[in-house]
């Protein structure tokens, strides 16, 4: 399917932000990648501030839809959490940092209006994770003694940080390693000692 020019511009701008950073690309770069003139980029987005505001707004809309899909498709909380985490891996495999991380790293270079948008974006992650964890603990699918809000922050931090470490090391596995370590602490039965597992197999 052929994308319309506006969508192509937004897609390429997202890629450049997540690979170079907001301040490191120009409308000339966008024009080259979309194969249009700079004037055409300005036609759709008169300023770079206009571009980033629209890009983040539409990205958040897609992200919310994706989170809703995860809840619809997966029933178990651990499956939902891993499906959520897979989004970070897919971005990394395309050579991109998480948009949250890329934007927050350059917050001082972004238009002032974007400050609240970045906070809101992170809060969406945390609220969704907290809700999944609360439901999992209430249903006894996860350990009941977890702190959902703190664990949500830990899971998000592990994925954002794991992406940055993986980026530096050029190592895909780094994205999920810390996340899976956290998952082992909240999943029921995950902390059973090896010797106990062996004893159970022999019974």
Reported confidence tier of residue 12, pLDDT bands at 50, 70, 90: very high
Q: Domain 5-192, what architecture?
A: Orthogonal Bundle (1.10)
Locate the domains of the chain by residue range. 5-192
Reported confidence tier of residue 190, pLDDT bands at 50, 70, 90: low
Q: Give the end-to-end CA distance of the chain in Å, rounded to a whole number.
A: 58
Residue 24 is classified by DSSP as: G
Reported confidence tier of residue 191, pLDDT bands at 50, 70, 90: very low
* Stretch 62-69: mean pLDDT: 98
Q: Could you read off the pLDDT of 22-35 as tens digits, one per residue?
A: 999 999 999 999 99
- pLDDT reading at 154 higher than 70: yes
pLDDT value, residue 71: 97
- With the CA atoms of 193, 195, 200 and 203 taken in that order, what torsion angle do they form, in degrees rounded to the nearest 10? -160
């Amino acid at each position: 399917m052929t994308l319309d020019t506006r969508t192509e511009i937004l897609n390429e701008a997202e890629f450049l932000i997540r690979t170079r950073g907001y301040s490191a690309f120009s409308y000339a770069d966008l024009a080259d990648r979309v194969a249009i003139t700079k004037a055409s980029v300005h036609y759709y987005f008169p300023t770079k501030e206009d571009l980033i505001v629209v890009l983040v707004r539409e990205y958040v809309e897609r992200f919310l839809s994706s989170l809703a899909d995860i809840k619809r498709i997966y029933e178990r909380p651990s499956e939902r959490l891993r499906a959520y985490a897979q989004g970070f891996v897919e971005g990394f495999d395309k050579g991109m940092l998480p948009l949250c991380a890329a934007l927050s790293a350059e917050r001082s270079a972004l238009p002032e209006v974007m400050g609240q948008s970045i906070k809101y974006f992170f809060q969406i992650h945390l609220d969704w994770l907290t809700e999944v964890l609360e439901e999992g603990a209430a249903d006894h699918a996860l350990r009941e003694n977890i702190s959902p809000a703190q664990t949500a922050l830990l899971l998000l931090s592990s994925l954002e940080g794991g992406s940055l470490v993986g980026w530096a090391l050029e190592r895909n596995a780094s994205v999920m390693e810390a996340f899976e370590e956290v998952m082992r602490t909240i999943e029921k039965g995950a902390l059973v000692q090896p010797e106990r597992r062996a004893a159970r197999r022999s019974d």
